[in-house]
Amino acid sequence: MKIVVIGGTGLIGSKLVTKLGEHGHDAVAASPNTGVNTLTGEGLAEALEGASVVIDVSNSPSWEDAAVMEFFDTSTRNLLAAEEAAGVGHHVALSVVGTELLLESGYFRAKLAQEKLIESSPMPYSIVRATQFFEFVPAIADAATDGTTVRLAHVLFQPMAGDDVAQAVGRTAVGTPVNGRVEVAGPDRYRMDEFFRKALAAHNDPRELVTDPKAVYFGVSPSESALVPGDGATLGETHYADWIGDSSRKH
């Protein structure tokens, strides 16, 4: 089965292409690096020719409010139209757990707009909402840093490994469209401040972690359970302690 992965040269996309290929699928990485641009439409029709499934794991190069909305709105409209013209049978998109609870952020407003475009299109679809990736832990800490202090709230947090995200998205892609959302998360639930206190120590990071109930997460003041899935989520198998135990991940 031909499966086109939009954003297929990025973190999750490259893992998806590899995993799908290992299972015998014709997985095609589509991104500006391979001559496919969903914003302009360049190369899109050619890439989708003969495809059964399209997986969109692309991301905006800018998180500025107007730019990120423009990216997800334009690219999703172009992609859905091209899929319909090519006779694609399943559109799969990667989104974020709790998106509708994080709308103080322009990024999450754009992700919700993307989901609504998919839901209102005639394309059979599946939206996979994932929690934060282990790979992004350093970036989250950096965004929460004030001087030599990392400020985070005591809210629930359930991150997962990028490999587990890719596995969940790939599994959904080769299945029947759910025409709805599924949630995936890590196997362990933490408090965000406590998790990062241990994560900083594991990275030998000298910054101090301060629990701050007013701390923001990328411009959002998350509620107690905004970042964790509801009941029925599929849980990944990789524990953070095992993942970080590979010394190569500390660098």
Q: What is the mean pLDDT of residues 174-189?
A: 98
- Cα-Cα-Cα-Cα torsion 14, 19, 25, 26, nearest 10 degrees, comes to 20
CATH of the domain at 84: 3.40.50.720
How many residues belong to the chain? 251
Cα distance between residue 206 and residue 236, in whole Å = 30
Q: What is the mean pLDDT of residues 199-216?
A: 93
Asked whether residue 203 is domain-assigned, the answer is no
Asked whether residue 202 is domain-assigned, the answer is no
Cα distance between residue 77 and residue 54, in whole Å = 14
Q: What is the mean pLDDT of residues 127-134?
A: 98
Residues of the chain by 3-state class (helix, strand, coil), percent to 5: 40, 20, 40
Residue where the block lists tokens 């799908």: 20
Higher per-residue confidence, 222 vs 247: 222
246: pLDDT strictly greater than 80? no
Asked whether residue 193 is domain-assigned, the answer is no
Q: Kindly state the tokens that stand for 10.
A: 């990025």
Asked whether residue 94 is domain-assigned, the answer is yes
247: pLDDT strictly greater than 60? no
Asked whether residue 67 is domain-assigned, the answer is yes
Number of domains, the chain: 1
Q: Please, which residues bridge with residue 209 across strands?
A: 150
Mean pLDDT of the chain: 95
Asked whether residue 84 is domain-assigned, the answer is yes
Q: What is the mean pLDDT of residues 91-118?
A: 96
Residue where the block lists tokens 């840093």: 145
DSSP character at residue 236: P
Q: What is the mean pLDDT of residues 40-54?
A: 97
Asked whether residue 77 is domain-assigned, the answer is yes
Q: What is the mean pLDDT of residues 88-104?
A: 96
What does the pLDDT read at residue 249? 53
What does the pLDDT read at residue 248? 52
What does the pLDDT read at residue 250? 46
Domain that holds residue 94: 2-133+161-187+223-238
Give me the percent of the chain exceeding a pLDDT of 70: 98
Asked whether residue 99 is domain-assigned, the answer is yes
Q: What is the mean pLDDT of residues 55-70?
A: 94
